[in-house]
Structure 1
Amino acid sequence: MENSTATTEQKNKQRFIQILALVIAIGVTVGVALLPIDWRQLDWEHIKIYGYPGLFVVTLLSDATVLIPFPGLAVVFLAGGFLNPILIGVVSGLGSALGELIGYLAGYGGRAVIENQKAYPRLERWMQRNGILTIFFLSVIPNPLFDMAGIMAGVLKMPAWKFLTACWVGKFIKFGLIAFAGGASLDFIKPYLGLA
């Protein structure tokens, strides 16, 4: 009888944690979406003023929203014109990886969030076979599947530190390359962006 009670308590505790994770994920996504920020007004001077801390916040917010696009990549591209691309990769990768924890928490809270998506069965197989490598490769490439992969990592209860490490390394590479591209091409495209 005691064993049955302990098992029921463990299940209740686990369910509470899952519901709490899902509520946090939804709350952060809605909260960020409702922020009174007009991203169209974000210009070159704002990026210069806020520098690395600004990049951290923008990429954190950009990836803290599950399935809602924010302009993190564009800001990193522009910042590559005047900040160190390697440091941009480090800072933006960290902000982005921490932001991706929201999707991970949504998945930890319940698989119903994504199981009706067309790509779900294939992504689930990839994650079960090569979870860390899947997270790494999907975080290097700008693509719409990463939110689902982050959610899947939570669904499959991948340890958070493994998820964060694979995600950060991949995002570091992605943002570093985007910053290098921005730095190399901004002189050419500044006149077209009204930045000259």
Structure 2
Amino acid sequence: MQNLAHNGTQKPKFSLHPNAARIVTVALLVVACTAPLAIQQYLSISPELVGAIGIPAIILFGFIGSVTVVLPVPVLSLVFAGATILNPITLVVAAAASITAGMAVCYIMGKRGHSRAVRAAETSQQNFPAPITNLYSWSTENVGTASFLLAATPNPVFDYAGFIAGAGRMNAQRFLAGTFAGKITQASVIAFLGHTVGERITSIL
């Protein structure tokens, strides 16, 4: 009887059906691949330009883009364009590490209650649809998974992820590890496409 009573008081946990999880994963990968390619088409970033600025510039752009939030830096488009000239592995790691480093700074600002972090968190909660804001409680219990999904796809939520994670006192190690893994995954797919079939894909888009 005690077990029944105990079970009756347990709150149901949010979980995804295995098939739904697979569909979401595939959809995220498709978005992660196509969005930067479309951006690259409109920006017309040449591989020669990326080769000229080199890895250090990509690291700088990735860090600045993550910290400033509002400054649009096409780091992933640079990864796509430079994959045929620069070392793909070095390129992917540099982009992912620089973006993660920027997110670490945003996390610290959010955790310390910086006024900018508070404004960013309030703005994100007001502007994003209810289904997105409702995922906040789930993300606090699954920090690594949530940060991985946000980092692996281009979306407006990721720009505020560091501030929100810091303000919410989420686990820093899990947040940064998930962010780095997500950006490694996204950048790897983009670099692979840029290195193999980049010219054909951009000519179709």
TM-score interval for Structure 1 and Structure 2 normalised by the shorter chain:
0.5 to 0.7
Amino acid across the alignment from 2:120: V
Closer/same/farther in 2, CA of residues 166 and 64 from structure 1, 3 Å limit? same
Identity level (%)? 30
> 2:174 aligned with 1:162, yes or no?
yes
Shift of the alpha carbon at 1:96? 0.9
Shift of the alpha carbon at 1:174? 0.8
SS at match of 1:70: coil
Q: C-alpha distance in 1, partners of 2:171/2:75?
A: 26
Q: Which runs of 5+ in 1 are unaligned?
A: 1-39
Equivalence for 1:29? none
> 2:68 aligned with 1:65, yes or no?
yes
1:138 aligned residue (150, 154, 165): 150
Q: C-alpha distance in 2, partners of 1:191/1:158?
A: 43
Relative to the length of structure 2, the TM-score reads: 0.63
Closer/same/farther in 2, CA of residues 134 and 67 from structure 1, 3 Å limit? farther
Shift of the alpha carbon at 1:145? 1.2
> 2:121 aligned with 1:114, yes or no?
yes
> 2:106 aligned with 1:103, yes or no?
yes
Equivalence for 1:55? 58
Equivalent residues in 2 for 1:31-46, closer than 5 Å? 43-46=46-49
Q: Which runs of 5+ in 2 are unaligned?
A: 1-42
Shift of the alpha carbon at 1:55? 2.1
Which stretches of structure 1, 4 residues or more, deviate above 4 A after TM superposition? 40-43, 189-192
> 2:184 aligned with 1:172, yes or no?
yes
Shift of the alpha carbon at 1:75? 0.8
Contact 2:120/2:160, CA 8 A, preserved across alignment: no
Contact 1:81/1:182, CA 8 A, preserved across alignment: yes
SS at match of 1:145: helix
Equivalence for 2:196? 184
Q: C-alpha distance in 2, partners of 1:123/1:107?
A: 19
Contact 1:124/1:152, CA 8 A, preserved across alignment: no
Closer/same/farther in 2, CA of residues 106 and 42 from structure 1, 3 Å limit? farther
Shift of the alpha carbon at 1:118? 4.0
Q: C-alpha distance in 1, partners of 2:88/2:202?
A: 18
Contact 2:45/2:77, CA 8 A, preserved across alignment: no
Q: C-alpha distance in 1, partners of 2:64/2:45?
A: 14
Q: C-alpha distance in 2, partners of 1:121/1:191?
A: 38
Relative to the length of structure 1, the TM-score reads: 0.66
> 2:82 aligned with 1:79, yes or no?
yes
Equivalent residues in 2 for 1:85-96, closer than 5 Å? 85-96=88-99
Contact 1:135/1:150, CA 8 A, preserved across alignment: no
Amino acid across the alignment from 2:73: F
Amino acid across the alignment from 2:144: I
Amino acid across the alignment from 2:170: M
Shift of the alpha carbon at 1:172? 0.9
SS at match of 2:166: helix
Closer/same/farther in 2, CA of residues 111 and 185 from structure 1, 3 Å limit? same
